[in-house]
Chain A
Amino acid sequence: MGEKRNKTHLHCTVNGKERDNFVPDNMLLVDYLREDLDLTGTKIGCDGGECGCCTVLIGGAPQHACLRLAATCQELDIETIESLSDASRLSALQRGFHEKLGAQCGFCTPGMIMAAEGLLRQNPNPSEEQIRQGLASNICRCTGYIKIIESVQFAIGELKLAGNAT
């Protein structure tokens, strides 16, 4: 501290909203989201890319916000857990985690849901093995993962029903 931090002008899109901010060069994306934008849904767990709690979507692909410098997100599209619900209606994945008790203490849930969201956009009908692979970077210390996989499967079912209805 004390030393003046170098800053960069960051222009990016967060949850569909265009952002123009000056961010310190050494600021992590997760700190930018939580401190500057007050998007505290994204959690800081291990700080080292091991737990996946800070997973957000960058350009539609799940990435760790704790290992990414905010200034490297120039012109990129970032989505956090806050973007999923539509006018306070939960998304299919959020409903799945609610219905199937995929969240216990809930700390890993934002990361789990964003990783699952990234997976379902790539592959709307993943097998259980593919779900496990898609969530491999995320740690949960409560559920034992079974409930989380059921939650994702619930969401897949919901999305299929919604797809058939329209």
Chain B
Amino acid sequence: MEYMPNFQLHRPETPEEAIKLLNEQPEAKLVAGGTDMIVNVRRGIEQPKNLIDLSSINQLKEITESNDGLRIGAGVTLNKVATTALIKKGYPAVAEAASSVAGGTHQQYGTLGGNLCLDTRCLFYNQSEWWRQSNDYCMKERGDVCHVAPGGKRCFAAFSGDVAPAMLVYTAEVELLSSRGIRRIPLAEMYQNDGMNHLTLAPDELVSAVHLPRTLNGTPSRYEKVRIRGSIDFPLAGAAVRLKMNCGKVEDISIALTGVNPFPQIIKGTDEYIGKALNDEGLDILRDSVRKQAKPMKTTTVAPWYRRRVIGALARKLIKELAA
């Protein structure tokens, strides 16, 4: 890998300081754990002149319980998300997703906020400088063409964070901090369908925390993903399912996917199943609807048709397990 490019490192100790730095250096990049960002910097994908390291902001590392739910700071490590009893018990898919990110060592310093804001990934993008240069770069970085869909005008790099879908099925909200103050939006609104620019954050905004609603505390959920290396890898496709049954009938269901689109995606039309029993036929229809809505492209070494098949099967398996 290439040697580290030259940059200046800033280490704010409060969120306000970080915002101030971000306003002074609009081109600066934020880094939390750095498990993905540092790799991208070394590959020349990111060439920041200024890097703002958030790891010494203790205020972002708090988990607090309040009347409206659980507030998890963006700087909380994935290991802590995976092992905190409140999250494990109340929002199992979130803990499960955190424990499936990369390997155990990455989870020790990778953070929740970092995983939610993870850059989109693509076979033609996450490569070394000489690899990308030999391939004439790509739309997302220095080039003009998207090698995934050369005729198209947009980038299809896939969002590959594990925690986002698990947060989405719990209708999580994110707290965004900027010099204008704090605003709180549904997590789903933080993403858009554009591989080049998948976050809707303003350039001077910082994700400071995630809120999980109290009303959904304790509803059963699961997260699972398919990957090439079982021990450590980004998802080829991942699914989170939250399902509450009542007397054999669906009371509440929500499905969200990752790895198959430029944004973590909530499956539409699941409300139709509320009040119905889930037999094999119903499960098959849900599976097919997941397959139809997922739009994997050739962004990984594994073919899109396989990822489309597997994401349906995965969602069906999780729903069946939760319904049992």
Contacts and interface: CB of A to CB of B under 8 A. Distances in A.
Bound pair: A and B?
yes
Interface stretch (A82-90, A99-107, A132-140, A149-157): A132-140
B4 A134 contact: no
A50 B38 CA distance: 13
A93 B47 CA distance: 41
Contacts of A47: 1, 42
B11 A115 contact: no
Interface string B1-17: 10011111101000000
A69 B106 contact: no
Interface stretch (A12-20, A35-43, A60-68): A60-68
B121 to A, nearest CB: 13
Contact of B34 (A8, A61, A68, A136): A68
Q: Is the interface of B mostly helix, strand, loop or mixed?
A: loop
A60 B251 CA distance: 45
B113 to A, nearest CB: 16
B231 interface: yes
A50 B103 CA distance: 9
* Most interface-central of B6, B102, B104, B109 (chain A CB within 10 A): B104
B105 interface: yes
A120 interface: no
A72 interface: yes
A25 B39 contact: no
B182 interface: no
Contacts of B8: 6, 25
Contact of A137 (B7, B51, B55, B232): B232
Given A3-B6, A48-B42, A74-B56, A55 B105 contact: yes
A8 B1 contact: no
A6 B49 CA distance: 11
A58 B79 CA distance: 14
Interface in B75-91: 79
Interface residues of A, number: 33
Which size bracket describes the interface of B in this complex? Answer: 20 to 34
Contacts of A148: none
B6 A136 contact: no
B34 A137 contact: no
Given A25-B7, A26-B7, A69 B53 contact: yes
A68 B42 CA distance: 12
Nearest to A4: B6
A35 to B, nearest CB: 12
B293 interface: no
Given A115-B105, A136-B104, A137-B105, A69 B38 contact: yes
Nearest to B5: A26
A158 B122 CA distance: 46
B108 interface: yes
Contact of B106 (A58, A64, A74, A134): A64
Name the 8 nearest CB pairs between A and B, nearest first. Answer: A137-B103, A137-B105, A136-B231, A47-B1, A25-B9, A26-B4, A61-B108, A136-B103
27 contacts: A3-B6, A26-B4, A26-B7, A26-B9, A28-B4, A47-B1, A47-B42, A48-B39, A48-B42, A52-B105, A61-B79, A61-B108, A64-B35, A68-B38, A71-B11, A72-B9, A72-B53, A72-B55, A72-B56, A132-B231, A134-B104, A136-B104, A137-B102, A137-B103, A137-B105, A137-B231, A137-B232
Interface of A: 3, 5-6, 8, 25-28, 46-50, 52, 55, 58, 61-64, 67-69, 71-72, 74, 115, 132-134, 136-138
